């Protein structure tokens, strides 16, 4: 019997399922950040929703923790890397709120189009304001869906039923799949310039934070209406308020905010704005599904069985020879995603050396985890990675050869003009990226990296170093590889922070610089 600490309200069916498995279910809903460190001591499992911050301190206090369960989709409140370092499995319930989130996004769209909450508030306050709250029809209007994952696709389906024209921005969706859904793929600038309504369904990461900015609103179609039921911070709330006040944007409906909980925003005083307090998953059905699903995952984890929605622990069955390569395989997928700047039609994962004689399927799944990790609207697991590849029209090929020229083992990810390879080196099996775009390099993978293609002539390292130095950026590692036959070269640098667009543009404009890619972050 294990002790399962539950710190937030969970569906009774979930609690009953964990108890029926023979575990002690300790529900403690009244706690402070300080007292949480006390009550987590001795717990084998911790089940939370969104309010409990599972920090490194909490994980350290919970020395006996084997699994942390998040009853929902997002993992913003769980320090997954810290849990991984401590060998604590993190699981979530990614299927629980998809329908509820899509329906809420569409409810917001309709409420904004017809001014439902504003008219309701006026009427119950004793004012009959029929002419003031004239709305617009959805039929015949263009809906721009930004992010065509599971929730975005469900919103698109519902919009079709209302007779809307559909366009979408998602560089990780195959055009064939979008066409089957009745959706035309566009660039983000063209989408906002074309759409009457924009509904956002993106994960929050370095590429999407602040995506809807003053500059983007300036390029938008006059009178566009913005709906965000995805993640706070994707929309610059101050910029949106300015765009609405100026008349450029007709209105907005938001369920999520940069800081939560919040009762203050420049948007709250604007009459054409509809807001809700992060209700996307707040349905009885979603809460029941989340409680049941997370209970199932926690019970499996405590029993030592295969856990489908583990986000940080490999599937069981990887051999002793394969297991050390899970990390570098995922890093190669993430590196390749940033390097390519979008999803190709197919990728090849090649295994060379002794590793090729093993069952390497789990490594290919690790590559897919890294490839989709920053772009999917759900945490990517070893179970859902193949589905994501299928949904996005990505064909995955494996090739294996037991011979390798320079390395004991080598994993290579390749598609079109881009490629990246990695291996483990030394007695401590340290990960190394050893090839980028067919240039031989050797550099440890890191959270922030920079790939620069340049003319192969003296002084180019100095050019890059000067630009980064002037921007206050430190270089931790650098590797340089020449193109076969000469003429061009490639630098791979580890840097201490994400570069702003201005620094990237400055670097790209320098004589002799042929291309710049920021990786990770």
**In angstroms, what is the C-alpha Rg of the chain?**
25
Residue 495's contacts (CB-CB under 8 Å, 6 or more residues apart) are 448, 449, 450, 468, 473, 474, 475, 476
For residue 457, indicate whether it is catalytic.
Answer: no
Looking from the CA of 510 toward its CB, the CA atoms found within 13 Å total: 23
Distance CA 152, CA 202 (A): 8
From the centroid of its chain, how far is CA 311? 12
For residue 260, indicate whether it is catalytic.
Answer: yes
Catalytic residue among 49, 201, 278, 439: 278
What DSSP string describes 405-440? Answer: SS-SEEEEEEETTEEEEEEEETTTTEEEEEEETTEE
Place of tokens 């996004």: 105
Distance CA 94, CA 336 (A): 25
Whether residue 403 contacts residue 334, with contact meaning beta carbons closer than 8 Å, is answered with: no
| CA atoms 378, 382, 384, 388: torsion sign | positive
For residue 397, indicate whether it is catalytic.
Answer: no
List, in sequence order, the alpha helices (H) in 258-323: 284-303
- The total of other beta-carbon atoms located within 10 Å of residue 71's CB is 31
Catalytic residue among 129, 260, 285, 390: 260
**Of residues 272, 238, 299, the one with CA closest to residue 47:** 299
Place of tokens 């080196």: 425
Backbone phi, psi, residue 271, to 5°: -70, -20
Catalytic residue among 201, 225, 231, 407: 231
**Of residues 83, 210, 105, the one with CA closest to residue 156:** 105
The DSSP bridge pattern shows strands 439-443 and 184-185 to be unpaired
Burial 376-396 (b: 16+ CB within 10 A, else e): bbbbbbbebbeebbebbbbeb
Residues designated as active site = 231, 260, 278
């Amino acid at each position: 019997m294990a002790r399962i600490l539950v710190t937030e309200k969970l569906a009774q069916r979930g609690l009953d399922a964990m108890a029926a498995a023979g575990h002690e279910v300790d529900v403690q809903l009244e706690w402070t950040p300080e007292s949480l460190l006390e009550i987590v001591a001795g717990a084998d499992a911790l089940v939370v929703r969104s309010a409990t911050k599972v920090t490194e301190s909490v994980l350290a206090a919970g020395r006996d923790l084997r699994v942390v369960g998040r009853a929902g989709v997002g993992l913003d409140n769980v320090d997954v890397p810290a849990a991984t370092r401590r060998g604590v499995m993190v699981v979530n319930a990614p299927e629980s709120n998809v329908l509820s989130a899509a329906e809420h996004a569409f409810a917001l769209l309709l409420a904004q189009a017809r001014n439902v909450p504003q008219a309701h508030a006026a009427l119950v306050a004793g004012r009959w304001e029929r002419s003031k709250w004239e709305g617009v029809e959805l039929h015949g209007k263009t809906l721009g869906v930004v992010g065509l994952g599971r929730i975005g696709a469900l919103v698109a389906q519902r919009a079709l039923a209302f007779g809307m024209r559909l366009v979408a921005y998602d560089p990780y969706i195959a055009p064939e799949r979008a066409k089957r859904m009745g959706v035309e793929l566009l660039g983000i600038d063209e989408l906002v310039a074309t759409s009457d309504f924009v509904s956002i369904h993106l994960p929050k990461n370095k590429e999407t934070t602040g995506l809807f900015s003053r500059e983007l609103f300036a390029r938008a179609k006059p009178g566009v209406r913005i709906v965000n039921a995805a993640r706070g911070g994707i929309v610059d709330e101050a910029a949106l308020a300015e765009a609405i006040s100026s008349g450029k944007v007709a209105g907005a409906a938001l369920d999520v905010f940069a800081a939560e909980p919040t009762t203050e925003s420049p948007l709250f005083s604007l009459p054409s704005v509809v807001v809700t307090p992060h209700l996307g998953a707040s349905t009885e059905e979603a809460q029941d599904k989340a409680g049941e699903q997370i209970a199932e995952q926690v019970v499996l984890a405590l029993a030592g069985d295969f856990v489908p929605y583990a986000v940080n622990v490999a599937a069981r069955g990887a051999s002793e020879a394969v297991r050390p390569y899970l990390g570098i395989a995922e890093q190669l997928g993430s590196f390749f995603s940033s390097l390519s700047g979008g999803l190709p039609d197919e990728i090849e994962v090649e295994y060379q050396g002794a590793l090729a004689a093993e069952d390497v399927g789990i490594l290919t799944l690790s590559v897919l985890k890294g490839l989709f990790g920053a772009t999917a609207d759900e945490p990517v697991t070893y179970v859902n990675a193949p589905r994501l590849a299928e949904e996005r029209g990505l064909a995955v090929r494996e090739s294996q050869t037991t011979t390798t020229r320079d390395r004991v083992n080598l994993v290579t990810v390749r598609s079109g003009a881009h490629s990246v390879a990695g291996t483990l080196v030394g007695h401590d099996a340290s990960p190394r990226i050893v090839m980028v775009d067919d240039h031989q390099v050797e550099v440890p993978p890191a959270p922030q990296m920079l790939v620069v293609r340049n003319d192969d002539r003296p002084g180019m390292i100095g050019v890059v170093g000067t630009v980064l130095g002037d921007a206050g950026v430190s270089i931790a590692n650098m590797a340089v590889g020449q193109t076969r036959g000469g003429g061009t070269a490639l630098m791979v640098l580890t840097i201490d922070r994400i570069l702003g667009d201005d620094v990237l543009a400055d670097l790209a404009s320098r004589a002799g610089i042929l291309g710049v890619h920021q990786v990770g972050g």
